[in-house]
Amino acid sequence: MALTGVQIFKLLPKTNCKKCGFPTCLAFAMKLAQGSVELSACPDVSEEAKNTLGEASAPPIRAFALGTGDKAVKMGAETVMFRHDKKFVNPCALAVNIKDNLSEDEIAATAAEVAGSEIDRVGQKLRIDAVSIEYASGDSAKYEAAVKLVADKAPEAALILNCSDAAAAEAAAKAVAARRPLIYCATDDNAEAMANIAKTNNCPLAACADGPEALSALTEKIKGFGVEDIVLDSGAKTAKEMIINNTQIRRSAIKKGFKPLGYPIINFVLRDDPVYEASIAAIAIAKYASIVVLSSIEKWKNLALFTVRQNIYTDPQVPMQVAQKIYEIGEPAADAPFMITTNFSLTYFIVSGEIENSKVPSRLAVMDSEGLSVLTAWAAGKFTAAKIAQFVQESGIGDQISNKELILPGQVAILSGALEDKLDGWKITVGPREANAIPTFLKARVA
Ligand code: SF4
């Protein structure tokens, strides 16, 4: 069970030395109890306390990575049931399932699709993270070859060895051990053999049982064999089962501190109908899955699921922002159009996207408005004539361009007169109200 702040405080050095960044040991203990700081921030904690506190202050859901390298997917470490309580920490991995009895060309083509699935959405790189290779052939040599082929064609993707046959899983795990694949899966019958494969190759292991109760007994058994990094499959297949089981697992781990269910969850949502599959996947993403395995990765489906995932894992209390600066789009000449907007991410990406669409090289000044959109920032007094004038003057842009013309968002046309008074020597032009009119507006200027 998790310790309270006071219980933790009793184990700290109580010197109030402030090295942890907090004024007192008690303040640090309170933060540690909330899971918002790491015990390692206190350099003077004793070994004995470390052992006690290390376990107690660990996140209720074990944290580890799926895969290796820059694109390894961090999982677990969640501390809340609802994202309005505190941000969800690690976005779930999306994986595609490939059967090893497909032709080499088909396997290679799907793996290549995974490797090329990355898109940029509001400044974040989003992709299909993993490939599950299913042992459907019954031929371990064929399985190993398929696993190696996927590893080769999708060199940065995490791998899931979807194979309950211990001998076939062992050979495949050995072949791609450097990629630290997830071994899927251990059941009550094969737990020891699969745990040995996971332990020998230093891989995480999925535990599969019928429902949370059976699952908790199985994870204890697997842990007893020396495997720490475990992923849970409760056998849920329908949307209703996923919601019920995933919620029960999450609640047991977070509210009750029940360690046998304190692991990331995997859901297989495989369906013949891709629209139906996308719907079930969205439910799994929203309700606590750390890995969602799909049967296909059409681009439209990826975009829908990437968007759901990105929204679920965005901190609702912190507006998404981009850095305040003057962005060059294309290779603008000294007399290129010079526009201004606020630093709300969505505003920036929509406006810069429309400028790109216009193919008119331009400069876009992005002013810090604490992540608010243009109208909201204006209403909140963060995007006023005085503040815009100060930003433009301090940026020094006036010395770098030849035309000294600033294009204001049409929604704040009301600021143009005041801005002209404050920006001596500048011409203020009112641009379009809506971003989708920017290409026509810019093209008309250079026609
Ligand atoms: Fe207390 Fe450790 Fe923080 Fe110092 S660094 S104030 S001993 S918790």
Q: Is 42 in the pocket of ligand 1 (CB under 6 A)?
A: yes
Q: Whose CA is nearest to atom 2 of ligand 1?
A: 42
Please give the distance, rounded to the nearest whole angstrom, from the Cα atom of residue 21 to the centre of ligand 1.
Answer: 8
Q: Is 53 in the pocket of ligand 1 (CB under 6 A)?
A: no
Beta bridge partners of 295: none
pLDDT of residue 38: 80
Please give the distance, rounded to the nearest whole angstrom, from the Cα atom of residue 9 to the centre of ligand 1.
Answer: 10
pTM: 0.77
Q: Which atom of ligand 1 is nearest to the CA of 18?
A: 6
Please give the distance, rounded to the nearest whole angstrom, from the Cα atom of residue 340 to the centre of ligand 1.
Answer: 47
CB 374 within 8 A of CB 409: yes
List the domains of the chain with CATH numbers: 5-57 (1.10.15.40), 64-312 (3.20.20.20), 325-446 (3.40.50.11600)
Return the best residue to mutate from 10, 14, 17, 31 for the ligand 1 pocket (most ligand atoms within 8 A of CB): 17
CB contact burial 335-352 (16+ within 10 A = b; e otherwise) = ebbbbbbbbbbebbbbbb
Q: Spell out the per-residue pLDDT of the chain, length 447, in tens.
A: 567 888 889 999 999 999 999 999 999 998 888 767 888 889 999 888 888 887 766 788 999 999 999 999 999 999 899 988 888 989 999 999 999 999 999 999 999 999 999 998 877 899 999 999 999 999 999 999 999 999 999 999 999 999 999 999 999 999 999 999 999 999 999 999 999 999 999 999 999 999 999 999 999 999 999 999 999 999 999 999 999 999 999 999 999 989 999 999 999 999 999 999 999 999 999 999 999 999 999 999 999 999 999 999 988 777 778 889 999 999 999 999 999 999 998 899 899 999 999 999 999 999 999 989 999 999 999 999 999 999 999 999 999 999 899 999 999 999 999 999 999 999 999 999 999 999 999 999 877
Q: Is 188 in the pocket of ligand 1 (CB under 6 A)?
A: no
Show the tokens assigned to 158.
């995490």
Beta strand spans in 142-277 (E): 158-162, 182-186, 205-208, 230-233, 266-268
| Total residue count of the chain as it appears in this document | 447
CB 90 within 8 A of CB 73: yes
> Which residue's structure tokens are 């390298």?
69
Q: Which atom of ligand 1 is nearest to the CA of 16?
A: 6
CB 25 within 8 A of CB 9: yes
CB 90 within 8 A of CB 76: yes
Q: Which atom of ligand 1 is nearest to the CA of 15?
A: 7
Beta strand spans in 117-211 (E): 119-121, 124-126, 130-134, 158-162, 182-186, 205-208
Q: Whose CA is nearest to atom 1 of ligand 1?
A: 25
- Amino acid type, 272: D
Please give the distance, rounded to the nearest whole angstrom, from the Cα atom of residue 233 to the centre of ligand 1.
Answer: 40
Return the best residue to mutate from 6, 25, 31 for the ligand 1 pocket (most ligand atoms within 8 A of CB): 25
Q: Is 17 in the pocket of ligand 1 (CB under 6 A)?
A: yes
Peptide bond between residue 163 and the one before it cis (omega within 30 degrees of 0): no
Q: Is 59 in the pocket of ligand 1 (CB under 6 A)?
A: no
Q: Is 9 in the pocket of ligand 1 (CB under 6 A)?
A: no
Q: Is 36 in the pocket of ligand 1 (CB under 6 A)?
A: no
Please give the distance, rounded to the nearest whole angstrom, from the Cα atom of residue 90 to the centre of ligand 1.
Answer: 28
Contacts with 153 (C-beta within 8 Å, 6 or more apart), sequence order:
107, 108, 111, 112, 115
Dist CA 131 CA 293 (whole Å): 8
Q: Whose CA is nearest to atom 8 of ligand 1?
A: 25
Q: Is 40 in the pocket of ligand 1 (CB under 6 A)?
A: no
Q: Which atom of ligand 1 is nearest to the CA of 19?
A: 5
Q: Is 18 in the pocket of ligand 1 (CB under 6 A)?
A: yes
Return the best residue to mutate from 9, 26, 28, 38 for the ligand 1 pocket (most ligand atoms within 8 A of CB): 28
Q: Whose CA is nearest to atom 4 of ligand 1?
A: 17
Beta strand spans in 37-80 (E): 64-66, 73-75
Q: Which atom of ligand 1 is nearest to the CA of 28?
A: 8
